Amino acid sequence: MSAFPIEVLVPLVYFGSRGVGFVTKLVKNRRLLRAWQSAAGASGLQVVGTSILGPRLTARAGSVAVTIDGQGQKGRNTRVDVRFPVPSDVQPVILRRRTHARRAGEIEIGDASFDEAFAVKGPLGQVLSLLDAETRRQLIFAHAESRVEISAGAFRATQVNEESLPRILPRLLHIGWRFAQPADVPRRLAGNVKADPEAGVRLQNLLFLIRELPAAPETREALRTACADASPEIRLQAAKGLGAAGRDVLLDLAGSRVDDAVRAEAVSVLDRELSFERTKAILDDALDRYHPKTARACLEALGKSGDAAAVDELGKVLALEHNEVAVAAAQALGATGSPAAEPALLLALQREEEDLRVAAASALGRVGTAAAVLPLAEVAGGSWLDRELHRAARQAIADIQSRLSGASPGQLSLTATEAGQLSLAQAEAGQLSLAAGPAGQLSMAQGESEPPQKARDGPAVRPS
């Protein structure tokens, strides 16, 4: 029969029966220490010190130091501290259990379950490089069995049950070892891009490499790897990062039936590198599948080309039933800079949809001729309740005036009256003009050879 330890005998000698409760506690603490020692040994830790008062156990594994302590029946308040070295010039990572909505400065890893469980702060590259798939898995497991946090070079798990310590301790050590390793951030990030099972994590790591380490050889390696990723968004970002070397990937994405936003960005990046025929084919498919973002990108590309075939195609799309694509077509027609776009825009100006009429008016300001001034003036005069349309029509008239000023004799030109109003006049008398009437209204009037009454009786449009 083993002798009682001195820690047990001293209270019995000095306090008699009053020390029974204390002795009972010491006995429980001794049992806890034995359980902790067993868990530490199984985890590869070397125990360097114990104390039955508390109780407390300290252990080490290389540069990682572990302290286990706690009080309470059956060790329900056991706490485990894992300390790992942090270079003095590196800002420490802070990780806590999430108890609130995301706040400024908190990092989104790209793993939904992890991001919902933890709030993380620290240098972005370091955080992304440390929190690989295995480390996140260990943290999630520890989170389910205890309350965990990381700060100032220490990982702490509290509210650990005695029964769960043998399961949690190896996981805590893995996290400590991971954080204690020298940080080769580019290499770790490239490894995450290649192997992480979460597409969101792969994307975040890739974007950091592109943005912060564009010249690193690890970034080039990651870009080539990511061009074959299962995620269209990752392939898109990789192709953009590779420049000319990623063109084939962009062409494939633009013509594929993947996410609308990805297709649209691929088209926008390729822009005028796409032939008219290919742009039209992508546009037709986008309209069939109702991919409005892709359709808009195609329309913008056609608008930049400005050739006759593009203007004709844009006019056809503009004639479609109203939707955001028709608005985009009107805007693209304005971008062509071609007067051939005017007829389609004048028709759109008479449609009922206000946002389409605004887009058509603005586009006419860029490509319209003198023939567009009267329809625009009529719209301006009849749109007092729609201030946006009213302003767009008036601005379009001003833009046309500016573009046509200085016309040679005998040509239509826009001039300003003394009252500051716009007029459409001929250089020779007797021709039609758009002038300010007596009441400050815009009206169609004849030149000096026509009777004044006829000019006043002409169709009037209220100005601004």
- Residue 390, pLDDT score: 94
Angle 298-299-301 from CA coordinates, rounded to 5°? 65
pLDDT at 397: 95
Closest CA to 88 of 153, 155, 151, 150: 153
Domain map of the chain by residue range? 6-121+129-181, 184-223, 227-305, 315-404, 410-464
Instruction: Tell me the mean pLDDT per 10 residues along the chain, length 464.
Output: 53 55 81 92 94 91 90 65 78 87 90 95 93 94 90 85 88 86 89 97 98 96 97 98 96 93 97 93 94 96 93 94 89 96 96 94 96 94 86 95 63 44 44 42 39 37 36
d(CA 249, CA 451): 70
pLDDT value at residue 427: 41
- What gap in Å lies between CA 415 and CA 358, rounded to an integer? 24
Q: CA dihedral defined by 405, 406, 410, 411, rounded to 10 degrees?
A: -40
CB 36 within 8 A of CB 165: yes
Fold held by 315-404: Leucine-rich Repeat Variant (1.25.10)
* CA–CA dist 50, 25 (Å, integer): 16
Place of tokens 């006419």: 364
> What pLDDT, on a 0 to 100 scale, did the predictor assign at position 71?
56
404 closest CA partner among 424, 421, 434: 424
Q: Are 61 and 175 in contact (CB under 8 A)?
A: no
Q: What is the pLDDT of residue 382?
A: 85
Tens of pLDDT, residue by residue over 43-78, are 999 999 999 888 999 999 988 899 999 854 454 578
Eight-state DSSP code of residue 341: G
Beta bridge partners of 68: 57, 80
Q: Which two tokens stand for residue 313?
A: 């195609």
CA distance 400 to 408: 16
Q: CB within 8 A of 182, min separation 6: which ones?
A: none
Residue 435, pLDDT score = 46
- Output the CA–CA distances (angstroms, integers) from residue 252 to 238, 249, 372, 462, in the order listed: 13, 5, 42, 53
Q: How far is CA 153 from the centre of its chain?
A: 31
Tokens in use for 280?
A: 């039209």
Helix, strand, coil shares of the chain as percentages rounded to 5?
A: 60, 15, 30
CA distances, 46 to each of 3, 42, 79, 354 (Å): 26, 10, 18, 76
Take residue 52 and report the two structure tokens written for it.
């039955």
The 10s digit of each residue's pLDDT in 448-464 is: 333 333 333 333 333 33
As given in the structure block, the two tokens for residue 348 are 């759109």
**177-227 per-position pLDDT tens digit:** 888 777 789 999 999 999 999 999 999 999 999 999 999 999 999 999 999
**What is the per-residue pLDDT for 261?**
96
Return d(Cα 5, Cα 381) in angstroms, integer: 102
pLDDT at 9: 55
Supply the pLDDT for residue 411: 43
SS3 42: helix
Peptide bond into 452 cis (omega under 30): no
- DSSP type of residue 350: T
Buried b or exposed e, range 36-53, using 16+ CB within 10 angstroms: bbebbeebebebeebebe
* 331/93 Cα distance (integer angstroms): 48
